Amino acid sequence: MKTKYIGLAAVILIFAVIFIPRIHDRIKNGTVVDDSRSGSVIGTAATDAVEKENVRTSESDKSTLLSNEELEIINLDKEANSLSNESTTLETLQQVPNFSFINQNGETITNNFYKGKVYVVEFFFSTCPSICPIMNTNMLKVEEQFLDNSNFGIASISIDPEYDTVEVLKEYADGYEVSHPNWNFLTGDKQAVLKLSNEGFNLYAAKAENEADGFEHSGLFALIDAEGNVRSRKDKHGNPLIYYNGLEDKGVQMLIEDIKKLL
């Protein structure tokens, strides 16, 4: 019995002396045989494959980072050129109906006054506490761009002509320090004003008892060319915008750009 144990111990010792250093070297050199996969050798080839895969992964990460940077630039470019969503080609729309009103100086102003001029039309009223101050502050920016151009004009038409008399409109214009000779603040027959707004320009305006200021109306500006036609650029789908938002910088900037095209 002892002889058997001695023999087994001798075999183990020989195995340890001969084979363990070899296994250690293979592990160190990456040449271990994987018995679980039909004896295929991972070895140096496998190590190279792993290294190549790491390189590919690294390059992929760089590519992803580059794509993200490019996307960021594209987004910034879109934001910087937000106006480019609309076509800069101006569409010719309907003819402005004939009108006749009185301005802040007591003068009769008709379509003929603006014949041969590019002008902007708005509907407002002097006691409006909400959007009108914004509209006319922005209209001052438009006036400033064309202050010395006699072929430019503005028609600010009151939808509350019963209150907005010549004297009231004169004071209102002076309060805004209006200086362009072709900027008229107009008053006249109430029904004629509302018909021009609602039917002539399709810009809603009406008395509204439930409103704090007593009226409802839009904050839009209409651009008229020298022949008396309403003009507008198109949106990205090819549809005319028709009007310009008088409450936002973007709308005012587009209006200024398009006035320059017509002058």
The tens digit of pLDDT for each residue in 182-227 reads 999 999 999 999 999 999 999 999 988 777 678 989 999 999 999 9
| pLDDT score, position 208 | 85
Q: Enter the DSSP assignment of 197.
A: I
The residue ranges of every structural domain in the chain are 2-80, 88-262
CATH class of residue range 88-262: alpha beta
DSSP codes of every residue in 106-140:
S-EEEGGGGTT-EEEEEEE-TT--SHHHHHHHHHH
pLDDT of res. 123: 98
Q: Helices (H) and strands (E) in the chain — how many of each?
A: 6, 11
Where the chain has pLDDT below 50, the residues are: 2-5, 17, 23-24, 26-84
- Residue 81: per-residue pLDDT: 44
Alpha carbon distance 250, 81 (integer Å): 11
Model-level pTM? 0.68
DSSP letters for 170-191? HHHHHHTT---TTEEEEB--HH
- Angstrom CA distances, 51 to 56, 135, 143, 183, 250, stand at 9, 66, 69, 76, 54
pLDDT of residue 204: 93
What is the reported pLDDT for 59? 47
217 carries a ligand binding annotation: yes
132 is in an annotated binding site: yes
